[in-house]
Structure 1
Amino acid sequence: MTMFTYIILFILAGTSSYRYLPETGRIPYSYSTSERDLLANITEIPHHVLIVYSTWYCSGCLTGSRIVITAASCFAKHKGEPITVKVGAESITANGQVITVIELKKHEYFRHLNKLDNDIALLVLQEHVDFEDGGGVEKAVLLEANVAFHVNTPLNVYGWGGPEKVVKYQNMPLCSIMAVVEKLECQEQYGHLITPSNFCVRYNPQRRLSDNGGGAIYNKTLVGILSAGGTSSQVPHFAVLTNISYFNKWIKLNTKNFLSKYCSMHNSDDYYHIDSVEFPEA
């Protein structure tokens, strides 16, 4: 066996293959206007949080007692103002644990290839969330690395209801069921806005959301973050999700670094949501 053959075998042995979900295989797409109500109960998303700075807000997911994951694009309007997070609240205006953010970390290569590339950020909370306060708060489980989804797999995507919604949905947690879209189909619409760091989903325009940064959940596991879209009534009704599996190691590494750094150390009435009605130019 030649040295060249040994090199090829070594490369192949080190190549990781994706595991696809659901394991039952591909599923047909079904469009329905009679799916679940848009209104979500906070008990089904005990990790969903409200992120506020100045008069802006967006959604996020609690993944540790002091760590929140959201979209870096949530901070498009941020100019250094204090950031706070509210967890365990049944609505934007309801009581919950309000905790100051002491560090915001956007991905080092956010917007490297385009305005949606590497759209992920971590927030470090000043103090630990109290999981025993009776609010039912829980941490989200992260999707493993090297996992992908079959086309048409349904995901529950969450956010907070904005002022454009009917009164029933304003300030409330919302859920929209979105189906995974073939990457090539999405690239036909949005070109190189679609990279390995994200993927597309199709949504029912009658179940569109108001803000971004919220989690996409599959089988009680955090698999994506709403990066762009999902809020418009205009065709093609595609949204872009940041790929949690792609960032699994980045999330774990930075969480470990933050805990090592900090754990060794001893309200306005009007808010505006950060939305993504318009896709940014590449």
Structure 2
Amino acid sequence: MRDHLTVLRRTAAAGAVALAALSLTPGTAQARPADPGPGVVGGVPAQQGEFPWMVRLSMGCGGALYTQQIVLTAAHCVSGSGANTSITATAGVVDLNSSQAIKVKSTRVLQAPGYNGTGKDWALIKLAKPINLPTLKIANTTAYNNGTFTIAGWGADQEGGSQQRTLLKATVPFVDDATCQEAYGGSLTPGDEICAGYMDTGGVDTCQGDSGGPMFRKDDTGAWIEVGIVSWGEGCARPGKPGVYTEVSTFAKDIASGAASLGG
């Protein structure tokens, strides 16, 4: 069991989300338990249209368009499976206050079957109508679980910071399972989770409010592919404490069948 005092989920608490609605700022990935806090730490503003499949979710998480009507996010961002019209997805903009923002309500949620707070940290949200934007394909092989990844989000830009109005982006290097396992005292779930970050220096990471957002890289054809989902970490951007992400390739078949069951 992870220590919830130090290891935090990268979701923004309701209070932080309400504040963000008034004054939004760029954010980063986050750790296990819900906690108000940081967009991408060490990030820079993304350009309009650079990552068109990025989605901001009203509960204080990120996500990516898996299809034009289904958002892939983290299991810990939702409360379970079933009908759900309480979530608003904002897409199509890097500035959440833009008049061009596309806002669509949810209709159903599918949380990863068997999710219990450790591993299997993925979920799907079906939207009331399709969003006419490009989608982000997911990895179905471990071939891309290496190299340098891009992270993006509207979460806090520093540990304990505010949610961001503008989408921030950064790059982080792969951290092998053995190194990450040692960093977290055996709390990693190998196979379910993949790590990335600057072990020696820290300084770049996702943070609170980035949960559910994608960690992605280019595939062999030069197209973006989602390799990880922002899940948790100890603080944000601390040296020796890399970000932990859901290993998407492990769950690719389950995600595909889940999306089929939602009919989106």
TM-score by length of 2: 0.70
**Distance between the aligned counterparts of 1:104 and 1:71, measured in 2?**
11
Distance 1:233 1:139 in 2: 28
1:134-179 deviation digits (Å, cap 9, x = unpaired): xxx31111212353524xx1000111143869x9x93111112111
Instruction: Give the drift of 1:197.
Output: 1.1
User: Does the 8 A contact of 1:160 with 1:172 survive in 2?
Assistant: yes
Is 1:41 the counterpart of 2:35? The answer is no
Q: Partner of 1:58 in structure 2?
A: 61
1 CA distance for matches of 2:158 and 2:148?
A: 26
Counterpart position of 1:172:
166
Counterpart for residue 193 of structure 2: 198
**CA 1:81 to 1:62, structure 2 compared with 1: closer, same or farther past 3 Å?**
closer
- Tell me, yes or no, if structure 1 residue 209 matches structure 2 residue 209: no
SS in 1 for 2:197: strand
Q: For residues 164 and 196 of structure 1, do their structure 2 counterparts lie closer, same or farther at Cα, with a shift above 3 Å needed?
A: closer
Question: Which is worse superposed, 117-126 or 155-164?
Answer: 155-164
Aligned counterpart in structure 2 of residue 110 of structure 1, from 115, 118, 121: 115
User: d(CA) in 1 for partners of 2:107 and 2:85?
Assistant: 11
1:221-272 deviation per Cα after TM superposition (whole angstroms, max 9, x unaligned): 111111112861433130111111111111111111211xxx7xxxxxxxxx
Distance in 2, Cα, partners of 1:109 & 1:257: 16
* Alpha-carbon offset, residue 189 of structure 1: 2.0
Indicate yes or no: 2:75 matched with 1:72: yes
Alignment-derived partner of residue 123 in structure 1? 125
Q: For the Cα contact (< 8 Å) 2:203–2:239, is it kept in 1?
A: no
Q: Could you tell me whether the CA contact under 8 Å between 1:145 and 1:247 is conserved in 2?
A: no
* CA-CA distance at 1:207 after TM superposition: 3.1
Paired residue type of 2:136: A
Unpaired stretches in structure 2, ≥5 consecutive residues: 1-41, 219-223
What's 2:8 paired with? none
TM-score scaled by structure 1?
0.66
Q: Provide the aligned C-alpha RMSD in A.
A: 2.9
Matched residue, 1:235: 239
Identical residues among aligned pairs (%):
23
Whole-Å separation in 2 of the counterparts to 1:39 and 1:146: 29
Structure 1 residues without counterparts, runs of 5 or longer: 1-35, 132-136, 264-282
What's the offset of the Cα at 1:90?
2.0
Give the secondary structure class of the aligned counterpart of 1:63: strand
Does the 8 Å CA contact 2:91/2:103 hold for their aligned counterparts? yes
- The residue type equivalent to 2:134 in the other structure is E
- The aligned counterpart of 1:144 is 140
Q: Residue in 1 aligned with 2:28?
A: none
Amino acid at match of 2:103: V
Question: For the structure 1 residues 73 and 206, does the alpha-carbon distance in structure 2 shift closer, same or farther, using more than 3 Å as the test?
Answer: same
Question: How far, CA to CA, are the matches of 1:202 and 1:109 in structure 2?
Answer: 28
The structural deviation recorded for 1:209 is 3.2
The one-letter code matched in structure 2 to 1:116 is T
